[in-house]
Amino acid sequence: MHQYLFLLFLLMKPFYWFSSGGLQIADVFFILSFGLYVFFVKKAEKISIDKNDKWLFYFVVCIVAINLFYGVLYGESNFIQASLYYVYNLLVVLTFRAYAEEQGAFLVNVARVCKINLILQLFFYITGIGRYFAASRYMGTFNDPNQMAFFVYISLMMAFLISRIKGGKLSWVYHVIAMALIFFTASAGMLMGMMLFYGLEALPNVKMLAQRQHSVRSILTVTAFLAALVLFSPEIGDYAADLSESSIVARAEEKLSRMNESAAGPTNIQERGIDRLYLYPEKLLYGAGESYQERFDQSYLDGEVHSTLLSMLFYYGILPTAALLYWIWKNIGVLSTINIAIVLSLFLESLTLLNQRQSLFWMIFVLLNVLHKKQATDKETAVVPAALLAGQPENAARDILLR
């Protein structure tokens, strides 16, 4: 039951019934899942934190201490609220890791829920149930198009990782659905992250495809057919006009124009509040606390720093951030191609988005750790038979393999 409640938590995650930042229906299911697990499943055992998660625990302890200090200093309760997000997500990480390492079909069911969520969001788009932001950016059942884009991206990555953990491959259908939904949200940063993921993920397959001439011929044939279909279509002018007027193209052009400070309006760094890192460099040492943004009147942006890792560096300083990065490193393990593709794409899109309050952001590192452990186990099981067979006569080697 505790695992089923966690699956309901994931299934209800896209449905924002209330304003962002507050408790949602999905969070109720997680609280029930956590409560059942602690008070009924683990009641006879001593509750402990996995060695990999101790660094995340230290990071959260530092956050609570820093925000408590600034909360008392300025008399602002919002500092405490900022700490609660991290405490909540720490509990999500601990719970998800415990469930993922239990025997059973939990991870398979998590992948199924991720796929269902992608299909549901496509269904809402087709039927017109989903909502729009400023009439041009689709946001589905979310309160913000960037929220939706991140959820779609991370759901795809989780389903992708679990398929690899289980020794399979994720169907291309879900990749197409995810890319289409992200395109509808017009999230430029998320599209850049997806492009980086596919670019890196394709690298090890280039040599393999080169060795299979029929695969290369098939790809070239299909590509040529699609290109001819588009180029010689009588509606090609309409397609080009629609693409040039689309929201995502307009946003990409706008962001490129803001790369230099001589352009009209704020730069990308100013627009995201990242300018605080060089306007208030002392905060990088001991942290500024995550609230009361009015203090930073030299910054262009009135709100929060909209960059995941850079915001945590600014709000909590270099030592807590180092603990967080060490936790991430411990979970990633050996930098395989899959790990590199997912981590770099996640970091790239997180440069311009605030993702640390999203539970799925933290859960992806747990899955990366599960995949790393599986790869290490597979490598050990592959090495042991080779060692046993070394120097054995042919008949003895056959007997060892049979056993």
Q: Which 3-state string (H, E, C) describes the chain?
A: CHHHHHHHHHHHCCCCCCCCCCCCHHHHHHHHHHHHHHHHHCCCCCCCCCHHHHHHHHHHHHHHHHHHHHHHHHCCCHHHHHHHHHHHHHHHHHHHHHHHCCCCCHHHHHHHHHHHHHHHHHHHHHHCCCEEECCCEEEECCCCHHHHHHHHHHHHHHHHHHHHHCCCCCCHHHHHHHHHHHHHHCCHHHHHHHHHHHHHHHHHHHHHHHCCHHHHHHHHHHHHHHHHHHHCCCCHHHHHHHHHHCHHHHHHHHHHHCCCCCCCCCCHHHHCCCCHHHHCCCHHHHCCCCCCHHHCCCCCCCCCCCCHHHHHHHHHCHHHHHHHHHHHHHHHCCCCHHHHHHHHHHHHHHCCCCCCCCHHHHHHHHHHHHHHHHHHHHHHHHHHHHHHHCCCCHHHHHHHHHC
pLDDT of residue 228: 52
pLDDT of residue 180: 93
Asked whether residue 109 carries a pLDDT value surpassing 70, the answer given is: yes
Which amino acid is present at 282?
E
Confidence of residue 240 (pLDDT cuts 50, 70, 90): very low
Give the tokens for residue 198.
């596919």
pLDDT-wise least confident of 101-105, 234-238, 367-371: 234-238
Residue 230 CA to residue 242 CA, distance in Å, equals 14
Give the tokens for residue 197.
């993921």
pLDDT-wise least confident of 18-22, 65-69, 246-250, 308-312: 246-250
Residue 333 CA to residue 210 CA, distance in Å, equals 30
Query: What is the rounded (10 degree) CA torsion for 198, 201, 204, 210?
Result: -30
pLDDT of residue 395: 59
Backbone angles phi, psi at 140, to 5 degrees: 55, -125
Asked whether residue 365 carries a pLDDT value surpassing 80, the answer given is: yes
- 157, 346 Cβ separation under 8 angstroms: yes
Burial of 99 (0-12, 13-18, 19+ CB in 10 A): buried
Backbone angles phi, psi at 22, to 5 degrees: -100, 180
> Percent of the chain, pLDDT > 90?
48
- Count CA atoms within 13 Å of residue 105 on its CB side: 5
- Owner of token pair 């507050």: 22
pLDDT of residue 216: 46
- Owner of token pair 């999230």: 187
Q: Give the closest residue to 301 by CA, choosing from 360, 180, 310.
A: 310
261 or 102: which leads in pLDDT: 102
pLDDT (tens digit, 9 = 90+) per residue, 45-56?
666 788 889 999
What are residue 140's DSSP bridge partners? 131
Residue 169 CA to residue 167 CA, distance in Å, equals 7
Which amino acid is present at 281?
P
> Percent of the chain, pLDDT > 70?
77
Burial of 67 (0-12, 13-18, 19+ CB in 10 A): buried
Which amino acid is present at 166?
K
Backbone angles phi, psi at 102, to 5 degrees: -75, 155
- Mean pLDDT in residue range 129-154: 90
Asked whether residue 231 carries a pLDDT value surpassing 50, the answer given is: no
231 or 363: which leads in pLDDT: 363
pLDDT-wise least confident of 140-154, 210-224, 310-324: 210-224
Can you give the length of the chain in residues? Answer: 403
Backbone angles phi, psi at 276, to 5 degrees: -65, -25
Query: What is the rounded (10 degree) CA torsion for 216, 220, 226, 232?
Result: -170
104 or 150: which leads in pLDDT: 150
Q: Give the closest residue to 145 by CA, choosing from 186, 193, 115.
A: 186
Asked whether residue 301 carries a pLDDT value surpassing 60, the answer given is: yes
Q: Give the closest residue to 188 by CA, choosing from 240, 246, 141, 242.
A: 246
pLDDT of residue 386: 55
Asked whether residue 371 carries a pLDDT value surpassing 90, the answer given is: no
Give the tokens for residue 344.
């770099």
Asked whether residue 60 carries a pLDDT value surpassing 60, the answer given is: yes
- pTM, full prediction: 0.81
Asked whether residue 246 carries a pLDDT value surpassing 60, the answer given is: no
The per-residue pLDDT of the chain, averaged, comes to: 82
pLDDT of residue 187: 87
